[in-house]
Amino acid sequence: MNGTTAGLRCRRQTVTVLFVDIVGFTSLVDELDCSDVRDLQVDYFSVVSDRVRAAGGIVEKFIGDAVMAVFGTTGPAAGSAEEIGCAAASAVEAGLRVQEALRGRLLAGRYPVLTRVGLATGDAIVDLEETRDGGYGMVSGSVVSTASRLQAYAPHDTVVVCAATREVTDTAVAYQEMPPVSVAGKAAPVEIWRALHPQVVPAGRSLQACG
């Protein structure tokens, strides 16, 4: 693919990326038969995918026990601040709903799990032809690695977000400030916030309708 073709099929826009994984998954699968691992993954992926799609997001990929989802790719390339914030708030709500659905649940009928979720908002290149989950997919940019790294640093059973996500969702989501974390590849500690719950949404506006 040459640069001209890539320019025609790709566009730059602001998106929110969500990563979720199972705490201690590697140790867990070492103790299970491969058929049990598959049953657990199928159940887990189904729960996560359902909540992501309900909030207007797109499941971009599964990586082992990690799920990457993207919000905001189906909107206009030059989205307004309100549209960017709406997509980001939907992503945060999806993360909270994933953990709510999994809290206390036995995956595959037998395995209790804890998850951690990381979100980041920023510019990315969105490939309009590489589709995932029935919508735009294949996003590229540092926002992807930031979300992945924040997920790895999230305390068990929490949803954490970067400063950009908190800034555009501050009126839609209640947050608790957490100590900055030292993230590989970042020159300075990264500020993070824990998402607690959605704020009251004004009448006539639905977060789930604006992913």
Domain assignments of the chain as residue spans, ordered by start: 11-201
Residues 6+ positions from 94 with CB-CB distance below 8 Å: 18, 51, 52, 54, 55, 57, 69, 71, 211
Whether 205 has a pLDDT exceeding 50, the answer reads no
pLDDT above 90 as % of the chain: 55
Token duo for residue 187: 């020159």
Q: How confident is the model at residue 210 (pLDDT cuts 50, 70, 90)?
A: low
Separation between Cα atoms, residue 118 and residue 114, nearest integer Å: 14
Higher-confidence residue: 144 or 1?
144
Whether the per-residue pLDDT at 173 is higher than 90: the answer is: yes
CATH superfamily of 11-201: Nucleotide cyclase, GGDEF domain (3.30.70.1230)
Global pTM value: 0.87
Cβ contact 118:21 at 8 Å: no
